Amino acid sequence: MLNNSTILITGGTGSFGNTFVPMTLAKYNPKKIIIFSRDEMKQWEMAKKFHNDSRIRFFIGDVRDKERLYRALDDVDYVVHAAATKIVPIAEYNPFECIKTNVLGAMNLIDACIDKKVKGVVALSTDKASSPINLYGATKLTSDKLFVAGNAYSGEHGTRFSVVRYGNVMGSRGSVIPFFMSIKDKGVLPITDERMTRFMISLEEGVELVWFAFDDMVGGEIYVKRIPSMKMTDLARVVAPEAKQEVIGIRPGEKLHEQMISSEDAYYTYEYKDYYKILPVINDWAKSAERIKDGRKVPEGFVYSSDNNMQWMTDQQLRVWIELNMEKIGRI
């Protein structure tokens, strides 16, 4: 469906956008991809990568500004919502700003997409939206609920909304692998807790999950990819085998393990070969055969957490990934 279509990506100059754009150009040859973001310097740097490709357009704007969204969404078919205030400590100290972007920005986008008759919207979520303990997670849970309910809100306009949720994105801006790589020469890597685990997903896998959501969604689903976990002590050992690991304690708002599906979500969750699907609880949509398809309901009390995962990334798999992505990591 993305072939010869016009796609807009909010927050498009981030790590996800820089991976989504070239992959989507190569696979689907869309008519146009519009990068909607508020940092002109990042747009300037990103534009250099595409050598004036006529299919790429840049649009300065902020999801907080509904009027600007209305203008940007003219003749747009599909939207990927990647804009967010996402650094946990910054959100804790700047709660008003976090809410303006993550909650009010989501509301603005939903309204604008419905009014502009956008066909489909996929919003990026996070493990922190499941049983949130920090403001960032709470705002993303709110955002998820808004996008799910947007399907009822759109009525006869026909705009469909769904969400994709995943954990630690390897190599993304602000993530742990680039951070450890940048300080490994100091000989000491900070570990918040020796028991800590994280899900591991590549940016490319995140893009593929968004593509799949556009193809599969009826509206209101939250897609969770089945991905491996890894202990942070093992990750640090692979990145810097000679470095000492110093335990510094968990930071405010940080979880010991990532969770993407809670036991409360289990009542509405179905499993498939490569992913889970959390169905919406409103309007009896969780009973919709059109949404369930060939899924199998997970057991009562099921929790998808990085510590109880059945898949684990090996040291060798991480080494191979780092070797293949060394240049990309160095640019972050």
Residues with catalytic annotation? 128
Distances (CA, A) of 225 to 31, 213, 275, 314: 28, 11, 4, 18
Q: How do beta strands 304-305 and 244-247 pair?
A: unpaired
What is the C-alpha separation between 279 and 270, in angstroms, rounded? 8
Single out the residue of 313, 306, 330, 169 nearest to residue 238, CA to CA.
Answer: 313
Reduce the secondary structure of 164-207 to three states and give it as a string: EEECCEECCCCCHHHHHHHHHHHCEEEECCCCCEEECEEHHHHH
